[in-house]
Amino acid sequence: MAEQDTQIPLGGATPSRIRNHNERLLLSIIARQGAVPGSDIARASGLSPQTVSVILRKLEQDGLLLRNEPQRRGGVGKPSVPMALDADGLLSIGLKIGRRTADLLLIDFLGNVRQELHISYRYPMPDQVFAFLERGLAVFRSGRSAALLDRTAGIGVAMPFQLWSWFAALGAPEDDMQKWREIDFAERVSRFSDLPVFIQNDATAACRAEHVYGRGKEFSEYAYFFIGSFIGGGVVMNGSVVDGRHGNAGAFGSIPVATDDGVRQLIDAASLHLLEARLEAAGINPGEIWDHPHNWDRFGAQLSPWLDDVSLHLAEAALTVCSVIDFDTILIDGAFPTDVRTRLVALTAERLSDLDMRGLVRPEIVAGEVGSNARALGAAIAPIDRQYFLDGNAGFAAG
């Protein structure tokens, strides 16, 4: 299994998947700014008004853009016509393969979730996950027109790289988890779909979702922490999500932190599997963490000490990250209820204020807002992002 963002071309949607640079630039600007008249797009893109007009007309004919109502600025002059993404212009599918759950989303061109499915398990097995994907595609096709389904951009897959290496923490047999090492995604998906597949690290996918649809769009540079079964992260620089040479940029779970048991990786000090262990020790089914919708009201006695530990180690990790790159902002999100995220962000900011930050500027600790679906949503963005927008959201930054 590849350890970087990978495209496996297996077919395509009816609209041409590979848009040229200028088409991607204009789509990216509109995606970032919303409905925009051609004159504003020309200024933002640096292209001539005539060139922009030709491209917008083509994108409209391809079903990717909609004309909004004409607007006259100041009540005088020729009205301008804002152009917007057509929600039905594209659909995309996102699959998150997690250590405890798998999520499948169908989104439209605006990022609205049209349908979603979830399964949970003790640990993931390939046959189980691919059967879930196949069933989910059939569910998504049901009741939708062939014309709309033909506009599906692809399948994005977000998963931890080297999934097979986590067998001990998952309590899974090593031989079972080793099956992931030999998986050929192209071959497995081609058994039931001809859609193109895009694979990426799950934490990077979550960061991309936050950057496009969450609070990340407010900042041009930040470090992002996402707490799932195991903590991960992402990096945004110059308005773009950074994947890294091997797709592992923002692998903050590997940061060493001091614990009562000695120096450990952040992944073993600030992850949800530690809360699972606390619940199990208290006689509570740890699987309840992954129930939908999330409700952790009965976890109070186990949740508070977990939050205390995690907030301390997150603060230490934030200090480490900021000593490498001068971030003004740290975003924190995870697979937990909103009230838990609010508590964790406040505690982390409090813990950070107690740490020695000589030589550094204290970053602002900010709550993300996408939540549990971030990894699946980020996965679903990938087929659209890679085929219709400028790579790495460069067009968003330009806008």
CATH 3.30.420.40 fits 6-13+89-205+376-398, yes or no: yes
Instruction: Determine contact, residues 197/212, Cβ cutoff 8 Å.
Output: no
159-190: pLDDT as tens digits: 987 888 877 777 788 898 899 988 888 899 99
Q: Global pTM?
A: 0.86
C-alpha torsion 222→228→231→235, nearest 10: -20
Residue with the bigger pLDDT between 398 and 330: it is 330
Pairing of strands 36-37, 65-67: unpaired
Q: Give the per-residue pLDDT at 69.
A: 84
Closest-CA residue to 394 (of 249, 244, 242): 242
Q: Give the per-residue pLDDT at 162.
A: 80
Instruction: Determine contact, residues 257/214, Cβ cutoff 8 Å.
Output: no
At the topology level of CATH, where does 21-86 sit?
A: Arc Repressor Mutant, subunit A (1.10.10)
What are residue 334's DSSP bridge partners? 227
51-86: pLDDT as tens digits: 999 999 999 999 999 998 887 666 566 778 999 999
Percent of the chain whose predicted confidence (pLDDT) is above 70? 91
How far, CA to CA in Å, does 130 sit from each of 95, 149, 290, 362? 10, 20, 20, 45
289-319: pLDDT as tens digits: 988 778 899 999 999 999 999 999 999 999 9
Radius of gyration for the alpha carbons in the chain, expressed in angstroms and rounded? 22
Tokens 């060493």 sit on residue: 256
Give the span between the Cα atoms of 287 and 361, in whole angstroms. 40
Indicate if 215-369 has the same CATH topology as 6-13+89-205+376-398.
yes
Give the span between the Cα atoms of 166 and 243, in whole angstroms. 22
Look at phi and psi of residue 199 and say left if phi exceeds 0, alpha if psi is from -120 to 50, else beta.
beta
Name the average pLDDT for the chain. Answer: 89
Binning pLDDT at 50, 70 and 90, where does residue 197 land? very high
What are residue 101's DSSP bridge partners? 120
- Residue 281: both structure tokens together: 């020790």
At the topology level of CATH, where does 215-369 sit?
A: Nucleotidyltransferase; domain 5 (3.30.420)
| Phi and psi at residue 312, to the nearest 5° | -65, -45
Q: Where are the domains of the chain?
A: 6-13+89-205+376-398, 21-86, 215-369
Binning pLDDT at 50, 70 and 90, where does residue 33 land? confident
E strands, 160-239, are 197-201, 222-227, 231-237
